[in-house]
Amino acid sequence: MADRSPAPARKPRVDAVRNRERVLEAAKVVFSAGGPEASLEAVARRAGVGIGTLYRHFPTREALFEAVYRREVAQLGELAEQLKSEPDPVEALRRWLRSNVEFVGTKKGMATALALAVKPSSELTAFSFERLSQAVGALLDRAVAAGEIRADVSPEDLLRALVGMCYMHDQPGWQTSVMRLLDVFVDGLRLPAGIERRTETRTIAPSIKRKRSTPAPARKPAVAAAKAPRR
């Protein structure tokens, strides 16, 4: 009897895929707002689905957290690709960094709303940091090549500075303050007009050549004066 080939995996129904995306988008909005209303029930209401549908796609709170997290990272990667065609490389970099403020807001609100005492897993954090570093690195390289941005800053520097600004502010309206600081930060990276851009990421101060002085003549050893014997 001939072996039966395994049945092909069934593709998710169109309405199921649509419901999942609606839940993810709703979770982003609800959790970003934070507050006592940021619950799973609020997510389901905003998405227009029942709470059972939400749990069918995301059986645990952590599963929803990770799905929203990964979706945001993927969208930021796509945005970086789109911004590569922007005529102004500095404004493209600024727009991408501003979009990251929204991403951090979603993470902060989600951790509070879902009462997650733990941070994203190390694997998830490493995945997102690598993807985001690659995305911002491409925009940064473009701005440096155009002679608009100083070259002694790395993609990791930008991300760490951005995260630091976001997590130093916890009061309502913190995103407005961070956006203002972000503009100051990006403007500070600009090269002044007329300054030749650096071609290396790090500059090394040239060695200073010191003029050698003429060596002093060697001193003759002192000879003890011997008294001639008296006759």
DSSP sequence for the chain = -PPPPPPPPPPPPHHHHHHHHHHHHHHHHHHHH-STT-SHHHHHHHHTS-HHHHHHH-SSHHHHHHHHHHHHHHHHHHHHHHHTT-S-HHHHHHHHHHHHHHHHHHHHHHHHHTT--SPSPHHHHHHHHHHHHHHHHHHHHHHHHTT-B-SS--HHHHHHHHHHHHHT--STTHHHHHHHHHHHHHHHHBPPTTPPPPSSSS--PPPPPPPPPPPPPPPPPP-PPPPPPP-
13-59: CATH topology: Arc Repressor Mutant, subunit A (1.10.10)
CATH fold label, 61-189: Tetracycline Repressor; domain 2 (1.10.357)
Take residue 106 and report the two structure tokens written for it.
Answer: 């979603």
Question: Within the chain, which residue ranges are assigned CATH 1.10.357.10?
Answer: 61-189
Residues in the chain, total: 231
pTM score of the predicted model: 0.70
Q: What is the pLDDT along the chain (231 residues), one digit of tens a residue?
A: 444 555 455 555 678 889 999 999 998 888 777 666 678 888 999 999 999 999 999 988 788 888 988 999 999 999 999 999 999 999 999 999 999 988 888 877 777 666 553 456 678 888 888 999 999 999 999 999 999 999 999 999 999 999 889 888 677 778 888 999 999 999 999 988 645 544 444 333 333 333 444 445 555 544 444 444 454
CATH 1.10.10.60 placement within the chain: 13-59
